[in-house]
């Protein structure tokens, strides 16, 4: 295992009196798939939002490649190479699938250059580049359809395609498998593995245990905002505390 | 012919302002109910520069545009950090403040306004009504071309993304404030252009020409024609400009008719006359189908290469 790409040092996120995330630490190495698991309300998405800059952590530090990033806005994190998807998909509904990708793809090329940003992207190679990304996630045939008309399975791919268009070093996937058919799940699993092969680290939140355990190199389990366990999927699956968090404790103190 | 030119020029000028508002409301999805303020800033800037500083129209025009866009930037910076209803209220506030500054500052002529604004001179000759109309049309075409280019460029795409979903756009590396500001400054610049033309068309301006009702009227044009469409604001400006001329006897009920029109549009055609699921566009398409019956022979399908 190589050096850590992302280090999360004791972060807490507090909303009023609620500690949604409480002193959580973990790190992600280069080319690693880390699963972030936990029952509903464990603070997984809050953790994601803290890393991707939606809200800064109340306490603690987030380091990307050794540099402290907490406080950077979401667009700042995106530029640093952190791509993310949303649990409840958020496509740019009125735009075509290709345009959805070009929004992310065009940033490094056009941003900060007024005249350049006013040139049409249609004539340039950027439309083809977007096509290549869409081909990879299997959406090339619907590239010019309005994204709002697509079914959930395709929208999950749109989200991944957009994140890939940022050429990320770290990809945050928030339940990218939920609502998908089993054939689709297998395709996305394959896709995530190939993304990792390209040198991208992946942090994924997943409810489907079979998928999460099969895909992740390591997993971190959260419960009530705290880190409950961390380790290889097989170790964590047999961890007493983890089983209790998911299934509860029996009447006589036995694990159910 | 003079009557025609007078009405047409005003419509063209308002169409330019409406195009600008369309960039803000239609492209970037930011409600602005204070567009007339920037229309007024352009008009006053140009009027002051030509009457007090003695510049010609052509010298005053770029300066007036710059002043309007700079003020658009400064006023947009705080306003665009709030969303939706709050932005609407903030922009209404801007409109009233700007109008009040024009009325109560002696420097801007106070309640008397500014008169004696010179005609536009081109190659040593003063432009007549028809020639001035032609000049305004040239600026309208330029404005439309700019809007079209903006909508096809990445800068426009970034604005569309912010309109559709600000949070997602931000996660795609787009700074929402920056995207909104770019649309706002472009839109106010076009309002400033319209204002400059208006000053040299009316040749006398006062604060009342740029009040809140004018903002509503420009907004009605954009909504009527179709927010986010290229030609919608132009169509809206034509309808709202021509209707009162045709229905002269109903002039007293003008505001009432506008309101009913606007309510009907929002209820039955929220996308505007040229927008999505538009009755007009749908009607034209079905007419086209009637005139040109189905293409019976698509040689590829029939001759085929045997794969299908």
Closest partner residue to B172 among A93, A104, A109, by Cβ?
A104
How many residue pairs bridge chain A and chain B with CB atoms within 8 Å of each other? Answer: 92
Contact B72, B184 (CB under 8 A): yes
Does B186 map to a domain?
A: yes
Per-window interface: B 132-161 vs A, CB < 8 A: 149-150, 152-155, 157-158, 160-161
HEC secondary structure over B17-40:
HHHHHHHHHHHCCCCCCCHHHHHH
pLDDT for position A2:
56
- Counting residues of chain B whose pLDDT is more than 70, the rounded percentage is 94
| pLDDT over 50 (residue A139) | yes
Mean pLDDT of B175-180: 90
Mean pLDDT of A238-243: 78
pLDDT for position A126:
85
Does B39 map to a domain?
A: yes
| pLDDT over 80 (residue B1) | no
Across chain B, the runs of DSSP E, i.e. the strands, are: 121-122, 125-126
| pLDDT over 50 (residue B306) | no
Interval B232-285: pLDDT, tens: 899 989 988 888 788 777 777 877 877 888 788 878 877 778 877 677 777 877
Does B210 reach chain A within 8 Å, measured CB to CB?
Answer: no
Integer Cα distance of B14 and B214 in angstroms: 10
Tell me the pairing of strands A67-68 and A226-231. Answer: unpaired
The phi, psi pair for B227, rounded to 5°, reads -65, 135
The CATH superfamily assigned to A1-32+43-72 is P-loop containing nucleotide triphosphate hydrolases (3.40.50.300)
Name residue, tokens 């280019």: B149
Does B142 map to a domain?
A: yes
Does B241 map to a domain?
A: yes
The reply to whether A1-32+43-72 and A81-181 are identical in fold is yes
Find the CATH number of the domain harbouring B85: 1.10.3470
Determine how many CB atoms are found less than 10 A away from the CB of residue B265: 20
| pLDDT over 70 (residue B98) | yes
pLDDT for position B293:
57
| pLDDT over 60 (residue B32) | yes
Contact criterion met (CB < 8 Å) for B157 and A90: no
Contact criterion met (CB < 8 Å) for B153 and A119: yes
Mean pLDDT of B168-179: 90
Nearest alpha-carbon partner for B209 in B199, B200, B219, B222: B199
Contact criterion met (CB < 8 Å) for A110 and B154: yes
Domain extents in chain A: 1-32+43-72, 81-181, 208-216+227-256
Closest partner residue to A79 among B152, B163, B173, by Cβ?
B173
Domain span including residue B213: 2-303
Average pLDDT of chain A to the nearest whole number: 84
| pLDDT over 50 (residue B300) | no
pLDDT for position B21:
95
Measured in whole angstroms, how far is the alpha carbon of residue A252 from the centre of its chain? 39
pLDDT for position B305:
42
CA angle (B20, B22, B27) in 5-degree steps: 115
What distance in Å separates residue A72's CA from the closest CA in chain B? 12
Closest partner residue to B173 among A86, A92, A107, by Cβ?
A107
Q: Which H/E stretch holds residue B254?
A: helix B254-268
| pLDDT over 50 (residue B304) | no
Cβ-based neighbours of B195, under 8 Å, separated by 6 or more: B17, B38, B39, B40, B41, B42, B43, B44, B45, B46, B64, B68, B210
| pLDDT over 60 (residue A210) | yes
Integer Cα distance of A85 and B171 in angstroms: 9
pLDDT for position A249:
67
Does B254 map to a domain?
A: yes
Question: Which of A55-69, A129-143, B22-36, B108-122 is the most confident on average?
Answer: B22-36
Contact A205, A174 (CB under 8 A): yes
pLDDT for position B299:
43
Q: With cut-offs at 50, 70 and 90, classify the pLDDT of residue B73.
A: very high
Domain A81-181 falls under CATH 3.40.50.300: yes
Measured in whole angstroms, how far is the alpha carbon of residue A57 from the centre of its chain? 17
Provide the domain count of chain B: 1
Cβ-based neighbours of B102, under 8 Å, separated by 6 or more: B40, B44, B108, B109, B206, B207, B210
| pLDDT over 80 (residue B302) | no
Does B308 map to a domain?
A: no
- Helix axis angle, B84-104 relative to B35-51, nearest 10°? 30
| pLDDT over 50 (residue A170) | yes
| pLDDT over 80 (residue B289) | no
Interface predicted TM-score of the whole assembly (ipTM), two decimals: 0.86
Q: With cut-offs at 50, 70 and 90, classify the pLDDT of residue A256.
A: very low
What distance in Å separates residue B151's CA from the closest CA in chain A? 9
DSSP assignment string, B160-193: HHHHH-HHHHHHTT--HHHHHHHHHHHHHHHHHH
Mean pLDDT of A151-160: 89
């Amino acid at each position: 295992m190589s050096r850590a790409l992302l280090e999360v040092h004791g972060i807490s996120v507090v909303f009023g009196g609620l500690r949604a995330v409480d002193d959580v630490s973990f790190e992600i190495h280069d080319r690693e798939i880390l699963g972030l698991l936990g029952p509903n309300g464990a603070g997984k998405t809050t953790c994601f939002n803290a890393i991707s800059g939606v809200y800064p952590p109340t306490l603690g530090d987030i380091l990307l490649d050794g540099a402290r990033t907490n406080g950077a806005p979401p667009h700042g994190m995106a530029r640093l190479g952190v791509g993310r998807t949303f649990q409840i998909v958020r496509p740019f509904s009125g735009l075509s699938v290709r345009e959805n990708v070009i929004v992310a793809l065009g940033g490094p090329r056009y941003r900060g250059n007024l005249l350049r940003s006013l040139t049409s992207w249609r004539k340039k190679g950027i439309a083809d580049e977007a096509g290549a990304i869409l081909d990879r996630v299997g959406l090339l045939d619907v590239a010019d359809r309005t994204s709002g008309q697509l079914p959930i399975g395709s929208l999950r791919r749109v989200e991944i395609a957009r994140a890939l268009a940022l050429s990320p070093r770290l990809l945050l996937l928030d339940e990218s498998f939920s609502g998908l058919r089993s054939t689709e799940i297998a395709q996305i699993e394959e896709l995530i593995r190939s993304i990792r092969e390209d040198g991208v680290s992946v942090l994924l939140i997943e409810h489907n245990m079979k998928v999460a355990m099969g895909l992740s190199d390591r997993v971190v389990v959260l419960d009530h905002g705290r880190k409950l366990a961390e380790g290889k999927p097989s170790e964590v699956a047999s961890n007493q505390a983890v089983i209790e968090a998911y299934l509860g404790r029996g009447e006589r103190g036995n694990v159910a | 012919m003079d009557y025609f030119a007078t009405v047409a020029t005003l419509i063209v000028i308002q169409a330019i302002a409406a195009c600008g508002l369309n960039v803000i409301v239609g492209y970037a999805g930011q409600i602005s109910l204070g567009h007339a303020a920037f229309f007024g800033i352009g008009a006053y800037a140009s009027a002051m520069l030509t009457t007090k500083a003695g510049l010609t129209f052509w010298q005053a025009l770029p300066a007036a545009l710059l002043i309007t866009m700079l003020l658009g930037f400064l006023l947009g910076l705080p306003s665009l950090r709030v969303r939706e209803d709050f932005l609407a209220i903030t922009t209404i506030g801007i409109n009233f403040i700007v109008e009040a500054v024009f009325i109560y500052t002696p420097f801007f002529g106070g309640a008397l306004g500014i008169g004696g604004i010179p005609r536009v001179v081109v190659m040593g000759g003063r432009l007549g009504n028809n020639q001035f109309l032609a000049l305004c049309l040239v600026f309208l075409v330029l404005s439309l071309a700019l809007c079209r280019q903006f909508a096809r460029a990445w800068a426009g795409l970034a604005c569309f993304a912010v309109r559709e979903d600000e949070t997602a756009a931000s996660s795609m590396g787009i700074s929402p404030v920056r995207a909104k500001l770019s649309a706002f400054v472009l839109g106010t610049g076009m309002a400033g252009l319209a204002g400059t033309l208006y000053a040299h068309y009316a040749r006398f301006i006062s604060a009342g020409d740029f009040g809140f009702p004018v903002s509503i009227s420009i907004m009605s044009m954009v909504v009527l024609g179709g927010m986010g469409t290229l030609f919608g604001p132009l169509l809206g400006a034509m309808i709202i400009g021509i209707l009162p001329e045709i229905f002269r006897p109903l002039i007293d009920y003008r505001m009432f008719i506008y309101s009913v029109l606007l309510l009907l549009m929002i209820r039955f055609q929220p996308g505007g006359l040229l927008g999505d699921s538009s009755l007009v566009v749908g009607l034209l398409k079905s007419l086209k189908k009637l005139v040109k019956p189905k293409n019976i022979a698509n040689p590829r399908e029939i001759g085929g290469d045997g794969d299908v």
